[in-house]
Amino acid sequence: MTLRAAFLSTVLPFGPWQAELQRHMPELALDPAPADPGAIEVALAWQPPAGALAHYPNLRLVHALGAGVDELLADPALPPGVPVVRLVDPMMTRAMGEYVQLQVLRLHRQDLAYRAQQHGREWRELPQPGAGERTVGILGLGVLGTEAALRLAVLGFDVAGWSRREQRLKGIKSYFGVDGLATLAAQSDILVCLLPLTPETENILDRRLFARMKRGAALINCGRGAHLVEADLLSALDQGRIGAAVLDVFRTEPLPQDHPFWTHPAIIVTPHAAAASNPVTAAPVVADALRRHAAGRPIINLVDRSQGY
């Protein structure tokens, strides 16, 4: 039986998503502008046009075409009570794991300092601690944080994570709650943010947290831009409290041309590129969720709308 779905995105291209989804689910009729809104049961959404989610009176499911659902949940057009599924694509998980490994290794092996030395043609070897002497703290031990944590542990780092509930991961220390955050921050040489953006986690990377961290520790933010209080980071860098930062996500994206992060010598900027959704690898995941919905079977990766992730 045909399942009718609306494709609602101002940023993702319809053609490739349509082609891949069709390949995995021929019974899906996907349309970016359905003529009969009443026939639409499912919305596939990522930064939908303003108000679009309110146009479908018989909407039964919204599947996000990305992992973080903060924007979708904040959309006033999202009908209350409609289940929302987030994208958990193993390929994206691997991509995030690679990104965190890359950036942790850059910080650990002092790549920023060596780049600066090269610029000045300076031949000087810096003292190099071993990976086991560095603690990497990961805020958020969900799908992506767990992948990053396990990869870093394989590289020999001392790894600890923070989540809402205690996690049991072999070889990874687990902290939770307010006290857990303070303990993790105090131990970390490199702190990685892989939290979802919720009212509890907004502005979590602020001067109070930086004050708890080791002097000169580094920060990697690949969660959301609103986790970080930008002015607090700039002053922490100026004071040497934070030694370096790698930022993939920003309050305003694209990062404005005149933003001080672009030229700061201790900041590495990447353009929200840590783990992008890809129709080729996401389509089978989305098709599985839609089939489960159509068959009335339990859907995995449902968002807890009351928790915000």
Q: Does 135 bind ligand NDP (CB under 6 A)?
A: no
Is 145 a binding residue for ligand NDP by CB under 6 A? The answer is yes
Pick the closer one to ligand OXD by CB: 143 or 155.
Answer: 143
- In the list 229, 277, 286, 294, the residue contacting ligand OXD (rule: CB under 6 A) is 277
Distance CA 265, CA 127 (A): 20
Classify the C-alpha dihedral 246-230-185-67 as positive or negative: negative
Q: Which stretch binds ligand NDP (CB under 6 A): 37-45, 121-129, 134-142, 205-213?
A: 134-142
Token match 């021929």: residue?
26
- Report the residue closest to ligand NDP, judged by CB: 142
Within residues 245-274, the interface with ligand NDP by CB under 6 A covers 248-249, 272, 274
Residue 223 makes contact with ligand NDP by CB under 6 A = yes
Q: With binding defined as CB under 6 A, does residue 144 bind ligand NDP?
A: yes
Of 148 and 237, the one with the shorter C-beta distance to ligand NDP is 148
User: Are 7 and 17 contacting, i.e. CB atoms less than 8 angstroms apart?
Assistant: yes
Per the annotation, the verdict on 224 as an active-site residue is: yes
Is residue 134 part of the annotated active site? The answer reads no
Classify 136 as helix, strand or coil: strand
Burial class of residue 39 in the structure, from the number of CB atoms within 10 Å of its CB (0-12 exposed, 13-18 middle, 19+ buried): middle
Per-position x/- string for 67-96, each x denoting binding to ligand NDP as judged by CB under 6 A, each - no binding? xx----------------------------
Neighbours of 168 (CB within 10 A): 6
Tokens linked to 103? 């950036």
Residue from 5, 6, 141, 266 in contact with ligand NDP (CB under 6 A): 141
Q: Does 143 bind ligand NDP (CB under 6 A)?
A: yes
Q: List the interface residues with ligand OXD, window 62-81 (CB under 6 A).
A: 66-68
- Phi and psi for 244 in degrees, rounded to 5? -160, 155
- Do residues 96 and 274 lie in contact, with contact meaning Cβ atoms separated by under 8 Å? yes
Q: Out of 272, 291, 292, 305, pick the active-site residue.
A: 272
The sheet with strand 84-85 has its strands ordered as 28-31, 3-9, 42-46, 61-64, 84-85
Residue closer to ligand NDP, measured from CB, 129 or 271:
271
Gap between the terminal Cα atoms of the chain = 31
Q: Return the residue matching tokens 């979802």.
A: 196
CA distances from 205 to 139, 222, 302 (A): 10, 12, 27
Q: Segment contacting ligand NDP (CB under 6 A): 76-84, 128-136, 195-203, 232-240?
A: 195-203
**Contact with ligand NDP (CB under 6 A): which of 60, 94, 164, 305?**
164
Collect all residues with Cβ–Cβ distance below 8 Å to 35 and sequence separation of at least 6.
Answer: none
- Residue 299: contacted member of ligand OXD, ligand NDP, none (CB under 5 to 8 Å, by partner type): none
- The active-site residue out of 151, 224, 227, 241 is 224
Query: Are β-strands 61-64 and 84-85 bridged in parallel, bridged antiparallel, or unpaired?
Result: parallel
Instruction: Establish if 53 lies at the interface with ligand NDP (CB under 6 A).
Output: no
Rg of the chain, C-alpha, whole Å: 21
Binding site for ligand NDP (CB under 6 A): 67-68, 140-145, 162-165, 194-198, 200-201, 222-224, 248-249, 272, 274-275, 309
Catalytic residue list: 224, 272
